[in-house]
Structure 1
């Protein structure tokens, strides 16, 4: 399917056919723009790292800068994992599986997908999954 620009006036609603071509395009463009912004931020981080090591003369300032860089790098690692989830959502759009719960097969829901475009489960299925994870961690 050809990529089109996101119509800024369009917002998916429950009043239209679920996962219509217009809705799928909306989410495709939303996901691609999200991925682009993450990659842009990553390039800025990489450029800052290439500009040279931290050269703070004061040990406290250096420790603070190193802590900031550690946080920045952990954030970038989380975003790298997020890009993988975005790519997976784009593949689901192409396969005609986007918007449907991978557990129940039920619609995930427009509002949930707007809030979390990479969602793969309904709220109920996600809550059940998290309860199972918590029980297995507590064992």
Structure 2
């Protein structure tokens, strides 16, 4: 999927955004405010939020991996937020149903183990580090 597609394009092409996910006025207002942005221009906060809502996940995960390769500890609110969101908010069956994305994640995790990025990063506190390492371990288990 090309990173310059917008959420608007994707939702109208695939009809995969259930209206029930956008049930509150606030969430609907927020979604409408970003739906014409290209995926590559979404903020990390918006990307995490969309993944948490499981909206167009199959299109957002490649962008998430792209960002994680550039900065494995990227986050909007705290270090490691994007990886933790991917680890904890993507259903396990997603990885089975999307083998290409699954393989890309496995490659990313090999890089993380090889270069020991999580262990050598200077974390703000032990809780962030522990949560990040838990998310990494969880992804390692479900993508094996």
TM-score (norm 1): 0.27
Say which one has the larger Rg.
1
Structure with greater helix share of residues: 2
